[in-house]
Structures are given as structure tokens and as C-alpha cells.
Structure 1
Amino acid sequence: MSTAPTSTTATATAPEPIAVPVTAVTCLEDRAHVERAVVLDLAAGVQRLRLGPVSALAVDRTLHADLTADHPANVLDLRIVRTWTPRGPVPSADDSALRHRMHTLEEERLTLEQRRERLQARLDLLGRLAADVLREIGEGAGAGECEGARWTRELDRVDAERETYAEQLRTVKARLAALDAESGETRRAMDLTEEEPAELVGHVELTVEAAVAGPAELRLSHLTPCALWRPAYRAVLDGDSLTLESEAMVWQRTGEDWSDVRLTLSTARSASATEPPRLAEDRLTLRDRSAAERRTVDVELREEEIGELGPVPVLGLPGVDDGGEARVLSAPAPVSVPGDGRAHRLPLSVFTTAASSEYACSPELSPLVTQVVRFDNRSGHVLLAGPVDLVRGSGFSGRGTLDFTAAGAPVELAFGSRDDHRVVRQAEESRESAGLTQRTVVTRTVRLHVSRFSAPGEQGERVVVVRERIPVSEVSAVEVRLRKEACSPVPDAVDAEGIARWDVALPPGGRRTVTLVYELSASSKVAGL
């Protein structure tokens, strides 16, 4: 389905602007490229047309217009003209009932606030009057005067007026509190159902020259900020199959709605500099090692992250991880995105493929047993890094993270931990030195206690893949040896990165203990071990 350009008769004297609907949008990381199309009935000669309204956020220098080649017409001038129309203090007849109700509440609130101030001033004055009467009574009693009837009458009158005005003040404050609550509810209803009309509106002024009268198709394009997108996914695990839905979260507050547009999503960073970085001098010098350096070898233990797929992650990098290459995705059907600034979830692709799962645990990193699902990317396009909603047979089970994955590449997705498993890790280390060879031997023993807590009536074994790492030496002066005779049981496999793996089968309510023993042997020249 495609959006066809609308046909409009254009005259230079027409007071009403010609509508130019949005037909296609290319959404970038922090902006959007908007395309518009309309069919104009041009008259012969030079004429100026007013098109719009368009978003007032449109970038002027990116505005571009094209006319169809089959019509002899040329674009002479093109510009964006913005007009500012401030809203009046009183709602107009076209405003909604909520806006009129809000105006009525504000007027009543202003009246009540003025009345509250007057009542408060009257109470303050009566308070000072009561203090003056009491002072007069004290001075008169001290001078021997006795006017009890007058003093009682004046005090009663002041107290009666104070009670009357205090009651009126309490009534006004109660009404103000009720108005605050009603105004808050009305304001929230307005925020959910409508938005403030734009005070700044843009129009495109187009000057064209046509040799003959006739219809011509006009295409406008420009960049606009306040629009962005991010990838999102939904993974549904059903036994040995997994369904992955790729979606796009789109936000836009450009001042206009996108209705039934062709949406393209791109990771291109048009605002980033494209120049290569400047090269700085890096001088390398050679020198002879000293006698002390020749006698010793400094070593240290360091942590290395094993990277398998995708680019090396960069800390603090904003935006979408696209592997260093601009990626382009397209929505399969026309979409509509309101300009309300809220997140709108739009479908991109969906596929179902076979999946294998295992219950894995790395006790050195976490004592939790996690269900890891592996499958191939059959979407036909790259999977950008983003959040994944995880759904199993029991329903929504949590949210995970999907890393950058090329088309056809394997994917690993964690579906959360198991509450019915527990792993406890214990590590011991002993150090000794051989007298003749002067070699230092460090023996490390790691014990992993794996337990399964099963519900009554649960049957069948469950295999838990336990992984523990062994140091890998990069220098010949340090040797690492796995003591298989002391391991219980012997690891099922040890890869080149030193990751030892056991497939531990646990029956319902079962417990197993895995023991790993390895040695680090270093010569006397090694320091820092």
C-alpha cells in the first residue's frame, strides 16, 4: 500500500494554503527525514504558492523540492515562512469542553483566592482589635475603673465576628482544595486526550515557472528534529521452537502526525563528523635491559573478556549499536505515528526457528542457574542491540538484552534464572617452593556444590552445565597444569580460553559436588605471582 499524492488546483491569489501530506519518513537516531508529495494544477507563467502547514521545526537548509520531469516547470525560489499566533486568555468556540471547564475553574480559583486574602486581612484586623480591647480592660482595671458590661459587650461582638469570618475562611479553603483536586484531574485528562495547539506554524513558499498549464507532481523533503527510534524485541519460547518479533520503538514530537507513511529506520549518524582522526606521533625506542630486569620476569593476573560475535562494546556510546556500519530497516506496511512524544511500538519482522536450551551456571560470576536459549538469526537482517521481552509457556517472564547479531549468526538469549537450583562455590589456595629447582607452585582447589530443590511428584533428571575458568599463561616462565587425578569428576571439556565445563545431571532433590584442582608453577625469576 502506498500513499498517493493529492491533487490541488494552485493559484497565486488563493488565500488558503495547499496541503502537502507526509508520505514517507526516514527515522534516524535523533532526527527524521520527511518526504511530502502533492499534485498541483499549475497555470502558465510565474506563480507563488503557499504550501502547508508544515512543522515549524523543519531545518531550512535541508528543504528541497522536485517537480515531475514530464511537465515543463522550474522551481525558482523555495523557503519556509513561520508565523506566531499566541493563544488568547479566553478559550475560543473551537476549544474542547475540558479546556472551557479548566478556564472556569481557574476563574473561580482566582475569585476565591482574592476572597481568602480579604477574609484573612479581616481576621488579622479583628485580632488586633481584640488585643486592644484586652489591653484597655487591663489598663482600666489597674486604674480602678469598672465597666464590666461594656467590656463584655465589646468582647462578645469581636469574638462573634471572628467566628463568622473564620467559618467563611474555612469554607473558602475547603472549596480551594476541592478546586485543586478537580483542576488536577482535568489537567491530567487534557494531557491524555489532547495537546496544546501550536503557536508557531510553518508554511512553504514556492515560486515556480510553468511554460504551459497542467498538473505537476511536487515532492518536498526536509530534516526535522524531535524524532528518534530504538530497536525492541519479543521472544516467545515454546518447547524446542522460538519466535522472535523485531519491533521499533518510535518517538516523535515534530508538531504534526505521520499518518499512513512509508517508514524507514536508519542508524546513519548524519550529525557525526566524517573526517578521519588526526594521527599523532608515537616514537618507539630500544634500550638494553638492565641486569635486574634480565634476572626477573614480572607477571600479573588480568581479566580478559572473551568476545565471540559483534563489535567490541564502547562504554558510554549513546544511540544504536550497528556494528560500525549504517543499517537500514523498513516497516513492511504503512504506519501511523502521532506527534504526541509517546513511545509507539511498530512491527518490523517475525520468524520462528528451532532453539536449543541449557541450564548454565558460572559460579565465579553468579550463583544462579540460568536457562540459556541458542538459535540462529533467520530474520534476513541484522539484529541490533536492544531489550527483549521474554515470554514462556507461563506468560511474561522478564526482560533481557539482545546483542548485535549478524544475519544467519547464532544468538544466545538468557531466559532468567531458576529458583529451584542453588550453587555454592568454595576456593582454597596453597603455596610451596621446591628446594632444588627454586620453583614456586601455587595449588588452587575449587569446590562447587550444586543442589536441586524439586516439588513433590517431580520426575526426570535435569542437566546443569557448570563452567569454571582456569588461568591461561602467556609466558613460558609460568606453567598452568590441570591435575586430573585430583579433579572429581574430570571436566568434560576445557577450551583454549581455559573454561572448564561439566555436564552435571541432577535428579529431583539431588546434590552433586564438583572439584577442580590446578597448579600454577613459576620459576625463581618470576615476580608478582
Structure 2
Amino acid sequence: MNASTAPSSPESAPPPAPEAVPLPVTAVTCLEDRAHVERTAALQLEAGVRRLRLGPVAATAVDRSLHAELTAGPDGATVLDVRLVRAWTPRSPEPPTADDSPLRRRRHALDEEQRTLEQRRDRLGARLDLLSRLAADLLREIGEGAGFGEAEPERWAAELDRVDTERATYEDELAAVETQLSAVRAELAYVLDTLAVAEEEPPELTAHVELTVRSAAAGPAELRLTHLTPCALWRPAYRATSSGGELTLHTDAMVWQRTGEDWTDVRLTLSTARSTLAAGPPRLVEDRLTLRDRSAAERRSVEIELREEEISDVGPARVPGPPGVDDGGEVRVLRAPAPVSVPGDGRAHRVPLTSAASPAHSEYVCAPELSPLVTEVVRFTNTGGHPLLAGPVELIRDSGFTGRATLDFTAPGAAQELAFGSADTYRVTREAEESRNTAGLSQRTVVTRTVRLHLSRFSAPGETGDRVIAVRERIPVSEVSDVEVRLRKDSCSPAPDTLDAEGIARWDITLPPSGRRTVTLVYEVSASAKVNGL
């Protein structure tokens, strides 16, 4: 007796997968190197324990950050479990883009050409079939007419000739189309074989959310789901417009994201929080100091050296490498005033945040030791109501775009300055000379340095009005008592208006149209005989 396999009953077949409930992105908090995504969905719950399938969602979502809660629904409804389920699915056929290879674009062109030729072949075949039926009807009409004694040989011959001529024309066109179609199919087969060897099209990773809920009664409910996702970041950017003694600063956010899905009409929040950095006190290490007596040779001489020291305010140290978000050591949060859309194409998208106007003071500044250019510097106060994070600034004057600069971190109400580029109507040249002599009895070495700055202004015909240029020049600052630095005001022409503790001398030079001025700075550096290295 042979055993046979009975057909499976409908009850034994696996149940079909439930239809996925859409789970769109409604809010995003973009961090320095990732994003916190919030999704909402409207659910229809049934009594008891049910498992729902939501999505699709970005496959880059972090599993351990997944959190779901019911914000509204029947009494007693709760979430029992939530998890991500990923699967590899073939990519959907899409037209090639500029980023695709020439081979893939050629395949798309051949597919389109083959489809066009097949449609034309079908149309020609339909016309030939219609002409064949027309010829058959015409022959039947001739036979029936001859049976009834009708004789119209001239008309019958003309009709048959016309049908035969059209059939011959369409048959020739059909043969040409078949020839072209064969060539296209052969080339397409070659391209497909080459693609199979040269390029492998991997399947696409998709993800869905499996949600297990329990409810005592049926009814509608609202779900809120949050998770972290990488491949998203933001950086601040600014646009400064100076006009009529006022500076308008527009604060924007440059957002990049390639999470695998688009953010459409979402509430966007920008944060400087660094979730990857663990907060903890610094490790204490032993720092041992020892004292020893100086030797006789060390008592007879003092070694000094000249060094360049950058003057900076207290703040976070600059770290070499890709720029991050400088928030002054405190987490800052900015929000977009309106819903925004950010495509997931990995490109920069500008999101407007705030705009503030404040009174500004403009002056022309020159540091000839660093650059011979005279730069227009605009000073203003941060009146935006929030800190200005460090970032690039696009500079705009009445004449239009003039260049780019960098804005440092600025607290609310703090003063800041921006350089709006150089003024081509000014020229500054710098000359420096040095003389050295030794006093007779004290054997002190005296080094006299003289710096001459020549300023000139080129004016257009008919231009009136004086311009004030703030000229800065530095002199050394001594840190040891054996070396003295003295400004010789009697030899300076003119004497500096100010000289700060950092050794920066400043003059406010007034230049009339086509005017010229020369500024002379003289200072002495004297050291005792036991100083070496001057």
C-alpha cells in the first residue's frame, strides 16, 4: 500500500503577516553626532493581548534606545514589549541617478529603448492584422459580387493594390523594428552579464517595530515611540548683514542626515549634548616638586628666550581635527520656529532659527606686523536672547556678499566683533631697525628698536571726510627682573594713545582724503651683564 501526502488544509497554513501601521517621524532632536527621533501613530486596540507591526522605520535605529508608551487609549492599556525586526529585501527598481555608474545608466537606456521598440512592434502587428482582415473581407465581397453577377474589376483591383501596398510598407517597417529589437536585446544581455560580474546590487535592509500591547477593552489609542539613530548631525551657521550702523545676525542650523528615511514636517530641536561622553571627575596624578640650590655658574648668568604668546580669553581649549559644537561647556538647546523637512540624502540643509538686530560700531583696524591690510571691524552686542555658538559667518554689506568669517562663542549680552574684509583704499608699509650698545660701568646691554609705519589713503575725486584708522603695534613684555622694557615716548612720533599690559600700543590716526601719515615707535630692551639669550 502506497502512502500519499494529503493536501494541507487551510487551517494548517501559516497566518499572513499583519499589515504594518504607519509610524511617521514627528519630532527630532539633533545632537552633535546623532539624533533622537520621536514617532507617533494612531492605533485601534482590541481587548486582550495583541501584537502589532509598525513601520517601516530606519534600519539604523539603536535597539537599546527603543522606548514606547501609550499617551492615550482605553483604561489599563499598556505596552508589554517593543522590539525592532530587520529584514533584507530586494531594492525596488528606480531610475538611475547621476551617482550611478555609466553601465547602470546604459542598462536603463536599453530597457527604455526595448520597451519603445516592443510597443512599436505591437502597433505594427495590430495594423497588419487589421489589413489581413480587410483583405479577407475584400475577397469575400468580390466572390459574393461575382456570384450575383456584379463585375467591377477596376475597383476591385485598385482596392486590392492599395491593401497590398500598405501591407508591404508595414511589413518592411516591422522587419526593421524586429532587427533593431534583436540588436537591443543582444546588447542588453551583454550589459546584464557585465553588471552581474562588475557590480553587485545588495538587498536593502528594512526594519519594522513589533509592539505587544495589552488592553482590557477595545478602542482607539495613541502611541509615542522614541529611539536614537546615527548618521545625523548639525552645526551652527550665521549670516551677518551690516548696514547703517546696525548689524542683523541670522542664526541658522546646517543639518545633515542619512538615516535611510526623510524627515518631513517635523519639530526640529538642536542640542549640543554629547551623549557619548561619560561625565566623570579627572584622575588625580602625583605631581612631585623638588628644590635644589643653584650652582655657581647658574648664579652668574640668567638664560632667557623670546617666545610668541597668543593672547586669549578663558574658554575651552581648541582641539585639532574636525570642528565640533563649541557650547562654552554647558548644554545649549535651540528650536526651529516652524516644522521643517530634511531629506535623507546626506547633504547640508539650512534651517533658519532666529534673527536679531543690534547697534553696531564700525572702525578700520590695522596690525602692520601681521598684515599690511586695513580691515573693517564691526563690533556689536549679542541681543538674540541665546548664546551664539562658534561657527562660520557669511558677511553681507550693502553691496552684497563680501566673504566669510568665524564667530566665537558669545554669551547673551556679551560684546563680539566681526571682520568684514579689507579696505582697498588704504596702504600700510612697515620698517623696523635695531641698534645695540653696552653701557660702560654697568655692562648692561641696551637694544633699541625703531618701527616706522607709513599710512596712505587713496581717495576718489570729490571724496570728502576724514577716516580714523586704529593702528596696533606690540612691544615685548618682560617676565624677569633682569630684563627691562621701556617705551621712549619722547622719541615716538606721535606717542601711542594707549599701551596695555600685554604690550599692545594703539594709535587712532586720522587720515583726510589722499592723506599720508608716518607713525614712529621707539622702545628699549635693557639687560644686565649676566643675561644670556637677548
When normalised by structure 1's length, the TM-score is: 0.77
Match of 1:411 among 398, 409, 416: 416
User: 1:310 touches 1:406 (CA, 8 Å); kept in 2?
Assistant: no
Letter in 2 for 1:50: R
Task: Tell me what 2:355 maps to.
Answer: 350
Asked whether the equivalents of residues 487 and 516 of structure 1 are also in contact (C-alpha less than 8 Å), the reply is: yes
Change (3 A) 1:516 1:387: same
Counterpart among 276, 297, 300 of residue 295 in structure 1: 300
Counterpart residue number, 2:29: 26
Any gaps of 5 or more consecutive residues in structure 2? Answer: 1-14, 115-182, 192-200
* 8 A Cα contact 1:387 1:399, kept in partner: yes
**Structure 1 residues 466-475 or 69-78, which shifts more?**
69-78
Q: Is the CA contact 1:65–1:218 (under 8 Å) kept in the aligned structure 2?
A: yes
- CA–CA separation in structure 1 for the residues paired with 2:477 and 2:283: 37
The 1-side partners of 2:521 and 2:330 are apart by 43
Give 1:470 deviation, angstroms.
1.1
Q: What is the distance in 2 between the residues matched to 1:418 and 1:254?
A: 46
1:198 and 1:255 in contact (8 A); partners too: no
What SS does structure 2 have at the residue aligned with 1:246? strand
Q: Following the alignment from structure 2 to structure 1, what is the Cα–Cα distance between the partners of residues 443 and 354?
A: 64
Residues 417-449 of structure 1, C-alpha deviations (whole Å, 9 max, x = no match): 011111111111111110111111110000011
User: What is the SS of the residue equivalent to 2:277?
Assistant: coil
Distance in 1 separating the partners of 2:259 and 2:281: 33
User: Number of residues paired by the alignment?
Assistant: 433
Task: State whether residues 235 and 243 of structure 1, in contact with CA within 8 Å, keep that contact through their aligned partners in structure 2.
Answer: yes
Shift of 1:197: 12
Name the residue aligned to 1:402: 407
> Which residue in 2 is equivalent to 1:83?
87
Instruction: Give the Cα–Cα distance (whole angstroms) in 2 for the partners of residues 108 and 335 of structure 1.
Output: 37
1:247 maps to a residue whose letter is: D
Counterpart position of 1:240: 245
Aligned-pair CA distance for 1:377:
0.4
Shift, 1:515, TM fit: 0.3
- Of 299, 314, 334, 1:329 maps to 334
Work out the CA distance in 2 between the residues paired with 1:106 and 1:475. 82
Q: Which residue of 2 aligns with 1:123?
A: none
| Cα displacement string for residues 489-528 of structure 1 (whole angstroms, at most 9, x for unaligned residues) | 1111111111100111111111111000000111112121
Matched, 1:508 2:513: yes
1:346 positional shift: 0.6
Deviations 1:125-161 (Å, cap 9, x if unpaired)? xxxxxxxxxxxxxxxxxxxxxxxxxxxxxxxxxxxxx
Residue by residue over 1:456-513, the C-alpha shift from the partner in whole angstroms, topping out at 9 and shown as x without a partner, is 2211111111000111111211111110110001111111111100111111111111
Q: Deviations over 1:7-37 (max 9, x none)?
A: xxxxx98732001111110101111000011
What is the match of residue 78 of structure 2? Answer: 74
Asked if residue 483 in structure 1 is aligned to residue 488 in structure 2, the reply is yes
Aligned residue for 2:237, secondary structure, equals: strand
User: Offset of 1:312 from its aligned partner?
Assistant: 3.5
Could you say if the C-alpha distance between residues 109 and 309 of structure 1 is closer, same or farther in structure 2, counting changes exceeding 3 Å? farther
Match of 1:17 in 2: 20
35 and 198 in structure 1: CA distance in 2 versus 1, 3 angstrom threshold: farther
TM-score (norm: length of structure 2): 0.77
Q: How does 1:197-346 map to 2 (within 5 A)?
A: 199-308=204-313, 310-316=315-321, 318-346=323-351
> In terms of Rg, which structure is larger?
2
**Secondary structure, counterpart of 1:68 in structure 2:** strand
CA contact (8 A) 2:31 2:270 kept: yes
In the TM superposition, what is the alpha-carbon distance from 1:325 to its structure 2 partner? 2.0
**Distance in 1 between residues matched to 2:356 and 2:388, nearest whole Å:** 12
CA RMSD of aligned residues (A): 2.7
Q: 1:446 matched to which residue of 2?
A: 451
> CA contact under 8 A between 1:244 and 1:350: conserved in structure 2?
yes
Letter in 2 for 1:37: T
CA shift in 2, pair 1:398/1:198, >3 Å: farther
CA distance in 2, matches of 1:105, 1:257: 28
Assess, with a 3 A threshold, how the Cα gap between structure 1 residues 317 and 255 changes in structure 2: closer, same or farther: closer
